Amino acid sequence: MILTVTPNPAIDLTYRVAALEPGETHRVAPPTARAGGKGLNVARVIGQTGGASFVLTTAGGASGLRLADDLEASGLPSELIPVAAPTRSSVAIVDEGSGVATIFNETGAGLSPAEWTALREAVERLAVPATAIVGSGSLPPGAPESIYADLVEVARRRGIPSIVDASGTALLAAAEAGADVLKPNRRELADTVGSDDPVAGARVLLSAGAGLVLVSLGADGMLAVGASRTWSARLPRPLAGNATGAGDAAVAAIATALGAGTTDPAVLVRRATAWSAAAVVAPLAGELDPAYPEYEARLVTS
């Protein structure tokens, strides 16, 4: 069972328009609404691919009740930490002509010290049956910078791998704690370490203590950077679609492989790139094109 921890979940609203025209009025059908947040998307992908996952997240206000209802309806095993602040929303507007998605993410509201303590205690308890722990997504304002580092420490004590998908000081803290795999995208990595070179940026995180860094490069695929080697994978041609959940699919691939005992970076980067690509052409974040097993055979690797 892979434990996914999402401190800042959201209700994901996805609108579709024939063509997005800034400054104009658009008439749209009601949006697709579902419980979202990066860790929830990771768990959905793990479930679709036949794995077992458990969602640990927070929920507050009327929107938190909506999130809880959707998780129950989806059949995802979960535990929700009650919080006072309402669960935030995330809005995706998909231009069906170009396939490009424009995203508006609310920052969310801060949690109290007691609520953070409850989340940490739940991680300790739920890590007991887990085969890997994933910490992913943004943090609400005022969050402890060590929250993902604490997760890494729990995983280390349990003797299981940890994967963190974050940015900024939370990403650096996870590296210093010795996370097995970090999975930022190119922009998150540059913003965190101050280098536009993904290899150089990844090596900063490796020097801090991370075991392996996988960097999402968008249409250019993915790069895995280890202590002495790099590996890359990409499709021969970029895919058109909604890339909102592509990084989460990559994390699901990494967690599934590590949880099964696979640690070869060449395998990890191929699987992560293939699942990420399959997510781009799926209609919603947290889903893969059913033909996802075929994507890996089409990759260009080095």
**Catalytic (active-site) positions:** 248
Residue whose token pair is 């995203």: 103
Q: What is the 3-state secondary structure (H, E, C) of the chain?
A: CEEEEECCCEEEEEEEECCCCCCCCCCCCCCEEEEECHHHHHHHHHHHCCCCEEEEEEECHHHHHHHHHHHHHHCCCEEEEECCCCCEEEEEEEECCCCCEEEEECCCCCCCHHHHHHHHHHHHHHCCCCCEEEEECCCCCCCCCCHHHHHHHHHHHHCCCEEEECCHHHHHHHHHCCCCEECCEHHHHHHHHCCCCHHHHHHHHHHHCCCEEEEECHHHCEEEECCCCEEEEECCCCCCCCCCCHHHHHHHHHHHHHHCCCCCHHHHHHHHHHHHHHHHCCCCCCCCCCCHHHHHHHCEEC
Tokens standing for residue 216: 């999402």
